[in-house]
Amino acid sequence: MHSSPTTARGRTTRALLISAAREVFEADGFHDARISDIAERAGTSYGLFYTYFSSKEEILDEVLTEAMADFVPASLAAAGVSDPQERIAIGIRRYLDAARRHARLFGTLEELALRDPKFRELKFRIRAPYVQRIEDGTRRLQDRGLADQDLDARTVATMLTGMIEHFTLQWFVYGIEADEDLAVATLTRLWVQAIRLQPPSG
């Protein structure tokens, strides 16, 4: 792992490389992506790429980490919304928005992970913080007596995030048709009922 650049110019070059890499991965997939293409698209050189990243794997990791940041709002409680059901609905809508923007990229990761254990590890690491936040949120609801306390929060988080992840893959990558409002409404209802969410008292 290379250390982060210390100059403003270095940071700019690094950021340009990341966004160029993203475009190249989306267009060509990972295996066919060439570092020279990434460097060229970022307006820099093959040699300079290696000043910032040691490999194509490393920059993929970076691209995915950046994309995952877009999912953070989906797993955090919406500001100013106290009704847990409403929070879940907003979270689902935000997730779908982020997933739509990054569908190609995550389709590529999925393909890599299905073939290669190294990328499997990456896939897990990339989605772990998201699943963790869902687990924590579920546990908080359980602690407050607002969700079914007999459910194992970790397994629930894996399964419910899997439900939405699977759906977005079908929708945005495979291109199956789905009505967005119906999807959001059904996802929300299934999620809320699955954990037996209670309306807050008072």
- HSE of 192, CA atoms in CB hemisphere, 13 A: 19
Closest CA to 56 of 34, 29, 40: 34
The CB-of-124 to another protein minimum distance in angstroms stands at 7
Binding mask 98-117 for another protein (x = CB under 8 A): ---------x--xx-xxx--
CB of 187 to another protein, least distance (A): 6
Q: Are 201 and 117 in contact (CB under 8 A)?
A: no
Binding mask 22-61 for another protein (x = CB under 8 A): -------x--------------------------------
Chain CA centroid to CA 172, Å: 14
Total number of residues that touch another protein (CB under 8 A)? 41
Q: Which residue, 149, 171, 151, is CA-closest to 160?
A: 151
Do residues 116 and 134 make contact, with C-beta atoms less than 8 angstroms apart?
A: no
Q: What whole-number distance in Å separates Cα of residue 50 and Cα of residue 24? A: 17
Q: How far is the CB of 96 from another protein (least distance, A)?
A: 12
Least distance CB 178 / another protein (angstroms): 8
Q: Map residues 136-175 to x or -, x wherever contact with another protein holds by CB under 8 A.
A: ------------x-xxx--xx-xxx-xx-xxx--x--xxx
Segment contacting another protein (CB under 8 A): 19-27, 42-50, 59-67, 187-195? 187-195
Dist CA 88 CA 97 (whole Å): 14
Residue 196 sits in the site that holds another protein (CB under 8 A): yes
